[in-house]
Amino acid sequence: MFDRRFIKIRLLSVNMSVANNREKIKRKIIKVDKDKCTGCGKCVVGCEEGALEIIDGKAEVVNESFCDGLGACIGECPEGALTIEIRDAYPFDEDLVENVQKKGLKKINIGIENNFTCSCPSSQPIVYDSPWEDSGDINEISSALRQWPIKIELVNPEAPYFRNNELLIVSDCSSFAYGDFHRRILRGRPIVTLCPMLDLDDTILTKLQTIIENNPIETIELVLMEVPCCKKISFLLDQIISEIEKEVSVKTTIISRDGKIK
């Protein structure tokens, strides 16, 4: 079961007015070297307090009161972009962190048995039995979608279309950016789509692990956009695969923002 406390969504406004009413003190706090930072997001995932965030492709300390200055995130950075410095900063406020996280973290109640079914009628599994074939017609490319639904929140891990040795995991924007997505990437394979900025809470990651673990999936193609936030999917998928007891190979395809395969 995927159970990690460090999966967080962005906490809006984070009581900045509270921090601004207190005096700064000289203390240890995380420093980000913007020249070294690649925006991979591993430090954001590794910071349980939620002090770090990726902004304009670089990590930043978004709230000084959320940073305890202990440096647990430093070991997560593959580029050595994080260090500890001593400077004037607002004091670390453990109570503030806990209170904001309680208000800001939203988890779906999936029940004690992890029943992933959804009550929405549109989420009922559909399998298109006929295999997809490339018609070769350049004027009208036939849809390569052989299932419904595709959104990670709506799919059921026990749906029959996952009984396949292949799986596509696609960031939401990729299929829109790449014009020949159906013919060159989808090709009739089972698919789930997600957004790294909106979807990656414990429930979604548990569901993704269940899909991979409980079906005969041997290969995964991960299709991501050429943006820093998409790297988070790759990092978390690596962790999921490391926890399951079977061999799964992963191929990553990157789509540029101008719609080309990198």
Higher pLDDT, 193 or 113: 193
pLDDT over 70 (residue 220): yes
**Res 208 pLDDT > 60:** yes
**Any idea which architecture 16-104 has in CATH?**
2-Layer Sandwich (3.30)
121-255: in CATH 3.30.70? no
Q: Rounded to an integer, what is the distance from CA 233 to the centroid of its chain?
A: 4
Question: For residue 68, which of 44, 45, 97 has the smallest C-alpha distance?
Answer: 97
Beta carbons of 74 and 25 less than 8 angstroms apart: no
The answer, yes or no, to whether residue 91 has pLDDT greater than 70, is yes
Q: Could you give the maximum distance between any two Cα atoms of the chain, in Å?
A: 68
Q: What pLDDT score was predicted for residue 109?
A: 32
Across 116-134, average pLDDT: 67
Residue 31, pLDDT score: 94
Give how far Cα 249 sits from Cα of 103, 172, 212, 213, 245, Å.
38, 22, 11, 13, 13
Six token digits for residue 145: 């979608």
- What does the pLDDT read at residue 112? 28
* Cβ partners under 8 Å of residue 50, min gap 6: 8, 11, 14, 63, 66, 97, 100, 101
Distance CA 172, CA 222 (A): 12
Q: What residue spans define the domains of the chain?
A: 16-104, 121-255
pLDDT at 207: 92
pTM assigned to the model: 0.59
- pLDDT for residue 87 is more than 60: yes
The yes-or-no answer to whether 16-104 and 121-255 have a common fold is no
pLDDT, mean of residues 208-224: 95
pLDDT at residue 17 above 60? no
Distance (Å, whole) CA 44 – CA 232 = 9
